[in-house]
């Protein structure tokens, strides 16, 4: 008997959309997501929402994550509230927020108590440095994976990569404040994207 074809994670954005079935589904899903987020929450969020649950495509994830980043507060919390509100309004946003915060709050309080007793230990400090390196690797790997989503961006892959490189230089090398980068590079990118979309609309009409 022939076996059904396996779909690769890279093709997840081509599959039919799923969506949260209820506010309880939102709460449990984001609770599970939050409990996996040790060290590199971006990688976990992308895998869960795009590749596993298929609540959004890669392109939608990149766009929503960009909005979540420029809003005040933790990125993933902002994203969870955006998704919850999209499907169930304010109650959905609150359910997603509760899922993101309830279990991690208990765990963080317990870890804070435990860490207080070993904070001066060289072993504990070195372990934290090691986890920091792993977190950086997870975030970098997820960023590389999401580059393919820029191919469908209105500005084109080349412009998007140039903007990403410029942002890296501004923050990592020049040490510009984040607000300046958002207003300068981010604002310029918004204006350019608007002009590109406007010209495309004029051509179609």
Q: Give the DSSP letter of residue 153.
A: S
Confidence (pLDDT) at 112: 78
- This model's pTM is above 0.75: no
Query: What is d(CA 12, CA 56) in angstroms, rounded to the nearest whole number?
Result: 9
Of 8, 4, 96, 5, nearest to 51 (Cα)?
Answer: 8
Run means of pLDDT, 10 residues per run, the chain, 205 residues: 44 62 93 77 83 88 87 88 94 94 87 71 70 71 76 84 90 89 89 89 83
Q: Is 192 exposed, middle or buried (0-12, 13-18, 19+ CB in 10 A)?
A: middle
Confidence (pLDDT) at 80: 93
Beta carbons within 10 angstroms of residue 54's beta carbon: 17
Confidence (pLDDT) at 97: 93
């Amino acid at each position: 008997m022939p076996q059904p074809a396996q779909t690769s994670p890279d093709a997840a954005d081509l599959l039919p959309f799923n969506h949260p079935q209820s506010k309880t589904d939102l709460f449990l899903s984001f609770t599970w997501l939050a409990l996996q987020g040790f060290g590199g929450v971006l990688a976990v969020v992308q895998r869960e929402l795009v590749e596993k649950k298929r609540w959004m495509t890669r392109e939608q994830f990149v766009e929503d994550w960009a909005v979540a980043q420029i809003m005040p507060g933790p990125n993933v919390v902002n994203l969870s509230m955006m998704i919850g509100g999209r499907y169930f309004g304010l109650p959905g946003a609150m359910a997603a927020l509760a899922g993101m915060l309830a279990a991690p709050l208990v765990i963080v309080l317990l870890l804070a108590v435990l860490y207080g007793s070993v904070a001066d230990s060289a072993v504990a400090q070195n372990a934290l440095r090691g986890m920091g390196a792993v977190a950086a690797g997870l975030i970098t790997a997820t960023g590389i994976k999401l580059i393919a989503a820029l191919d469908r961006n209105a500005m084109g892959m080349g412009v998007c990569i140039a903007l990403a490189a410029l942002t890296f230089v501004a923050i990592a090398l020049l040490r510009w404040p984040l607000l300046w980068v958002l207003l300068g590079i981010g604002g310029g990118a918004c204006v350019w994207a608007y002009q590109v979309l406007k010209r495309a609309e004029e051509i179609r009409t």
